[in-house]
Amino acid sequence: MGELLDALNTLDRDTQSEPGSLADQAAQAFRSASHRVNEAIEAVQEPGMPLDILARATRRAPLQALAVAFLVGVLVTRRR
């Protein structure tokens, strides 16, 4: 995945538009948002955090986790 990001960043630098343009501002906003999302995901995946706990529970009992996810999906769709 890192190689893909490096290639995309290199391509982005090569084809970058003039500084201050709307496309440049949009690209910068997208990079900033994706960086914040990646930081949030990394923080939640640390040991003892909710995503780590959920991942471990799913590995221990995949069929039960699938059943719970199905039931939650049914409850959410019925409420709407």
CA distance 16 to 8: 12
Beta-carbon contacts of residue 27 (< 8 Å; ≥ 6 apart) = 12, 16
pLDDT digit string, tens, across residues 14-42: 665 556 677 778 888 899 999 999 998 88
Q: Identify whether the C-beta of residue 52 lies closer than 8 Å to the C-beta of residue 46.
A: yes
Residue 7 CB partners (closer than 8 Å, separation 6+): none
pLDDT of residue 63: 92
User: What does the mean pLDDT of the chain come to?
Assistant: 82
